[in-house]
């Protein structure tokens, strides 16, 4: 009985503390003369012919009121929905009728009631894609080229891989670890970048780390639910899943760059991604060289690793918030970390610790990192 009381007491004390700070206002002297803090983040931008629509999120010690809006250094009429001050972490839509010019850069400045300004740049203005059948199809092609095509192309090397001796296979597995390590770093970086764009209080960067670690732990638990670590087709499945989640994030970024008007770079970007991602196909099938997987397994793995890119491009083109992007990359990074652990574990169990520090293995890792880094220069 007394045990329960000692669970209730801390809760009651906590509630008392909160009530005291909020109602007693013991910190009044600190906050009395402090000027209000205002923060506004432009999360998404949509461009329609003759209009610019911004989705903004506000934070601060007081509700933030957007009083006036400049576009390209001139005040413009605008509407705010909902009207009035924007509360903490709330969103509002700023719509500005404006004859923006296709292919040119436009600058937006939001002026709050205290005269503080927040700027946002539309680097290359292009109409935001609508989700019509034809645009969905076009974006799907982008996603397929980005994700499925290179992975499937890489898998075509599988028959050749089967002919290789044990040294070459060891090298291939190490290569897979190298490329996964590269993807892990790159995914984290992209996630942290997106996380930094969120309002400070949403802690976008922390979100990336937390979601990555949670994903790793969950996937390890799922992978080992039968009591033993994944090998063969199961290991290939997890590699494909990790790469698929990574490609979801890549798709979001590519889709968003379409939405943000960076589409001029798209062709170049896609060529780069195809070359970059071919290695991923090799990595996925590397654990299968000793097995006799059916053809359908390859199709499934390619789909798992590549199709999320299509979803990502679709979602990204519709201007998603950086918070969501950060979360996706966090999950992707976590999934990749899990397969690094499992692939390394697979090798360790099979060959012991010796080969891992040998020149072939280290060379494979180095090769994986270098191939990914150098092909990333094309992106």
Partner 1 sequence: MAVLGRMHLSRRALVKALGLAGAGIAGNVAATRRSYAQATTGHAGQHGGNLDAGGNRVVGSVDHAANGFDPLEIATDFDFGTVSTDAAGRRVREWTVSALDTEIEIAPGVYFPAWAYNGRVPGPTLRCIEGERLRLRFLNAGTHAHTIHFHGIHPARMDGVPNAGQVEPGGEFTYEFDALPFGCHLYHCHSFPLKRHIHKGLYGAFIVDPDPDRHPEAREAALGRLAGSPQNARWQEFVMVMNGFDTNFDDENEFYAVNSIPFAYNERPLRVEKERPIRIYLVNVTEFDPINSFHIHANFFDFYDHGTTLEPTHRTIDTVMLCQAQRGILEMTFAEHEPGLYMFHAHQSEFAELGWMSHFEVV
Which one of 47, 212, 220, 260 is in contact with partner 1 (CB under 8 A)? 260
Spatial neighbors of 118 by CB under 8 A, at least 6 apart, are 40, 41, 42, 109, 110, 112
- Residue 167 or 200: which CB sits closer to partner 1? 200
- Residue 199 or 282: which CB sits closer to partner 1? 199
Please name the residue that has the structure tokens 């009651």. Answer: 12
DSSP code per residue over 72-127:
TTEEE--EEES-SPBPTT-EEEEEEE----TTS-EEEEEEETTS-EEEEEESS--P
Site residues for partner 1, window 323-342 (CB under 8 A)? Answer: 325
- Give yes or no for residue 29 binding partner 1 (CB under 8 A): no
Which of these segments, 15-23, 194-202, 281-289, 364-372, binds partner 1 (CB under 8 A)?
Answer: 194-202
Which one of 1, 8, 34, 296 is in contact with partner 1 (CB under 8 A)? 34
Distance CA(195)–CA(202), nearest Å, equals: 9
Site residues for partner 1, window 45-84 (CB under 8 A)? Answer: 57, 62-63, 65, 67-70, 73-81, 83-84
What minimum distance in Å lies between the beta carbon of 67 and partner 1? 3
Distance CA(260)–CA(255), nearest Å, equals: 9
Please name the residue that has the structure tokens 């007394």. Answer: 2
- Give yes or no for residue 33 binding partner 1 (CB under 8 A): yes
Which one of 88, 90, 111, 153 is in contact with partner 1 (CB under 8 A)? 111
What minimum distance in Å lies between the beta carbon of 378 and partner 1? 20
Closest alpha carbon to 42 in 64, 14, 75: 64
> Residue 59 gets which letter from DSSP?
E
Spatial neighbors of 262 by CB under 8 A, at least 6 apart, are 123, 124
Distance CA(44)–CA(104), nearest Å, equals: 18
Which one of 20, 89, 97, 131 is in contact with partner 1 (CB under 8 A)? 97
- Residue 196 or 378: which CB sits closer to partner 1? 196
> Residue 131 gets which letter from DSSP?
-
Please name the residue that has the structure tokens 């976590």. Answer: 334
- Residue 29 or 33: which CB sits closer to partner 1? 33
Number of residues that bind partner 1 (CB under 8 A): 58
Spatial neighbors of 127 by CB under 8 A, at least 6 apart, are 47, 48, 49, 102
- Residue 77 or 102: which CB sits closer to partner 1? 77
What minimum distance in Å lies between the beta carbon of 307 and partner 1? 22
Site residues for partner 1, window 112-171 (CB under 8 A)? Answer: 112-121, 123
86 forms beta bridges with: 64
Give backbone dihedrals phi and psi of 105, rounded to 5 degrees, phi first: -90, 140
Which one of 40, 192, 310, 379 is in contact with partner 1 (CB under 8 A)? 40
- Residue 78 or 184: which CB sits closer to partner 1? 78
Site residues for partner 1, window 269-328 (CB under 8 A)? Answer: 322, 325
Which of these segments, 254-262, 292-300, 362-370, 371-379, binds partner 1 (CB under 8 A)?
Answer: 254-262
Residue 225 has a CB neighbour count (10 Å cut-off) of 9
What minimum distance in Å lies between the beta carbon of 74 and partner 1? 3
Binding interface with partner 1 (CB under 8 A): 33-44, 57, 62-63, 65, 67-70, 73-81, 83-85, 97-98, 109, 111-121, 123, 194, 197-200, 253, 256-257, 260, 322, 325
């Amino acid at each position: 009985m007394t045990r329960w009381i000692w669970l209730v007491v801390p809760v009651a004390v906590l509630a008392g503390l909160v009530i005291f700070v909020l109602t007693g206002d013991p910190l009044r002297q600190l906050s009395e003369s402090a000027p209000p803090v205002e923060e506004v983040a432009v999360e998404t931008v949509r461009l329609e012919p003759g209009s610019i629509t911004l989705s903004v999120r506000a934070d601060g010690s007081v509700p933030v009121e957007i009083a006036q809006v400049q576009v390209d250094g001139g005040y413009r009429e605008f509407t705010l929905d909902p009207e009035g001050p924007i509360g903490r972490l709330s969103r509002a839509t700023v719509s500005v009728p404006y004859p923006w010019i296709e292919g040119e850069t436009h600058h937006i400045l939001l002026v709050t009631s205290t005269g503080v300004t927040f700027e946002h740049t539309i680097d290359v203005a292009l109409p935001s894609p609508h989700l019509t059948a034809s645009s969905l199809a076009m974006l799907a092609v982008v996603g397929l080229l980005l994700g499925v095509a290179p992975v499937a192309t890489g898998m075509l090397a599988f028959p050749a891989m089967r002919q290789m001796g044990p040294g070459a296979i060891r090298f291939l597995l190490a290569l897979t670890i190298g490329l996964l390590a590269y993807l892990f770093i790159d995914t984290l970086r992209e996630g942290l970048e997106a996380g930094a764009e969120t309002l400070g209080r949403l802690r976008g960067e922390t979100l990336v780390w937390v979601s990555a670690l949670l994903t790793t732990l969950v996937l390890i638990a799922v992978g080992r639910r039968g009591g033993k670590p994944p090998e063969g087709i199961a290991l290939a499945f997890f590699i494909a899943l990790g790469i698929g989640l990574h490609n979801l994030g890549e798709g979001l970024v590519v889709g968003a760059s379409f939405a943000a008007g960076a589409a001029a770079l798209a062709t170049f970007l896609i060529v780069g991604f195809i070359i970059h991602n071919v290695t991923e196909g090799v990595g996925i099938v590397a654990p299968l060289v000793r097995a006799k997987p059916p053809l359908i397994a390859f199709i499934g793995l390619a789909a798992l690793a590549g199709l999320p890119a299509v979803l990502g491009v679709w979602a990204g083109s519709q201007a998603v918030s950086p918070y969501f992007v950060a979360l996706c990359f966090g999950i992707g990074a976590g999934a990749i970390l899990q397969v690094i652990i499992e692939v390394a574990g697979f090798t360790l169990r099979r060959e012991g610790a010796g080969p891992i520090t040998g020149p072939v293995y280290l060379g494979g890792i180095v090769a994986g990192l270098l191939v990914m880094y150098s092909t990333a220069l094309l992106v």
